[in-house]
Amino acid sequence: MTVKNEVLHILEENKGKNISGQELANILCVSRTAIWKAIKSLQQEGYLINAASNKGYSLSYTSDVISSEGIRLFLCEKFKNIPISVYKSLSSTNTEAKAEIIQKGIHGTVVISEEQTNGRGRFGRKFFSPPNTGIYMSIILKPNLNISNSVLITTAAAVAVCLAIDKFTEKKPQIKWVNDIYIENKKICGILTEAVTDFESGTIDSIVIGIGLNVKTENKTFPNELQEIAGSILQDNDNFAIRNKLTAEIINNVLSTCEKLEEKKFLKIYKERSMILGENIFYKKNNKWIEGYAQDIDENGGLIVSQNDGQQIILKSGEVSIRKTK
């Protein structure tokens, strides 16, 4: 760990408290000059570090830069040492995570970026990922699943995000099957799950869960075509730091749930949070929209749809929308 990272770790642990440069130098066994250089470098990266004569340095409570040091403070003890890579900008965290799998990335590896220049959603759609306002991350999992029930991972991840938002805010997010999360009828999160499969055994070698979450993206920042449909957890005038602990809680929830995926306890919460169950919907099949009724979620996360002719189908993937009635 570099001096800069060690200084950041101490400041994050003591957020809002003053620590003298000499104390930092003594703790890390380096010179005061090395501490000063580390502080200046962190300030240039956007960390709100206050420096006061005869008091020392303090990291502001409102500083909200994502860092592995800040995230680890809020991770469960069993996950404290998972590999976490944080970037200022990436084309896509899922792309980077898949590259890490090739390099033998292990279960629980996390890739995070302050910005995505080519963030992706399902069906090749772009996910708007502006700098310093959201959480854009991918988690590598090594589950014991076959391809047919891999939709469980996506449903589990959606629940993990909702529970993390519950913990740190008063908002009550809902889930639009299978992978979108809404607050007050505006989409605030998308989840893209991609599998690396072993075709000989029909099992999944690795899964990458990509999570794009709008935390404090101002409405005026969204492109015109998204301003009516996209939202954010925090409002424009909210000014408190949440991203490191929210990121950590999502990681805690995803990894904990993955350990007990076969118990499927999260499906109960998923159903309770569903915004489409009990609604008339359209679902897409062969590029055509078909009417139906969202009846239930099955034990593997599939959507049970009643068709107008009375027959039932189970959707394992695809696209749905609520059919508005006049």
Judge if 192 and 232 occupy the same domain: yes
Q: What is the pLDDT of residue 149?
A: 64
Q: Tell me phi and psi for residue 64, to 5 degrees.
A: -135, 35
Judge if 267 and 285 occupy the same domain: no
Judge if 92 and 177 occupy the same domain: yes
Judge if 96 and 194 occupy the same domain: yes
Question: pLDDT of 99-139, one tens digit each?
Answer: 999 888 899 999 999 999 988 877 667 889 999 999 999 99
Judge if 36 and 118 occupy the same domain: no
Q: What is the pLDDT of residue 237?
A: 62
Number of domains the chain is built from: 3
Judge if 53 and 73 occupy the same domain: no
Judge if 86 and 27 occupy the same domain: no
> By residue range, what is the domain housing residue 32?
3-59
Measured CA distances, 155 to 109, 146, 307 (Å): 20, 16, 23
Q: Which residues pair with 322 in a beta bridge?
A: 281
pTM of the model: 0.92
Q: What is the three-class DSSP state of 261? A: helix
Q: What is the pLDDT of residue 203?
A: 72
What is the token pair recorded at 311? 């027959």
Q: Tell me phi and psi for residue 17, to 5 degrees.
A: -100, 150
Q: What is the pLDDT of residue 250?
A: 98
Q: What is the pLDDT of residue 318?
A: 81
Domain with 315 in it: what CATH number? 2.30.30.100
Judge if 182 and 309 occupy the same domain: no
Q: Please choose, from the candidates 136, 130, 318, 114, the residue with its C-alpha nearest in 3D space to the C-alpha of residue 210.
A: 136
Q: Which of 15, 31, 59 is the last residue of a domain?
A: 59
Judge if 152 and 97 occupy the same domain: yes
Q: Give pLDDT < 50 ranges for the chain.
A: 326
What span, in angstroms and rounded, lies between the C-alpha atoms of 50 and 12?
Answer: 13
Judge if 16 and 72 occupy the same domain: no
What span, in angstroms and rounded, lies between the C-alpha atoms of 254 and 82?
Answer: 13
- Please give the torsion angle defined by the CA atoms of residues 62, 248, 126 and 323, in that order, rounded to the nearest 10 degrees: -100
Q: How many residues does the chain have?
A: 326
Strand ranges inside the chain, DSSP E: 49-52, 56-59, 84-87, 110-113, 134-141, 174-176, 180-183, 186-198, 203-214, 280-285, 288-297, 303-307, 312-315, 320-322
Judge if 86 and 225 occupy the same domain: yes
What span, in angstroms and rounded, lies between the C-alpha atoms of 239 and 52?
Answer: 23
Contact between residue 94 and residue 192 where contact means Cβ atoms under 8 Å apart: yes
Q: What is the pLDDT of residue 1?
A: 80
Domain with 24 in it: what CATH number? 1.10.10.10
Judge if 214 and 293 occupy the same domain: no
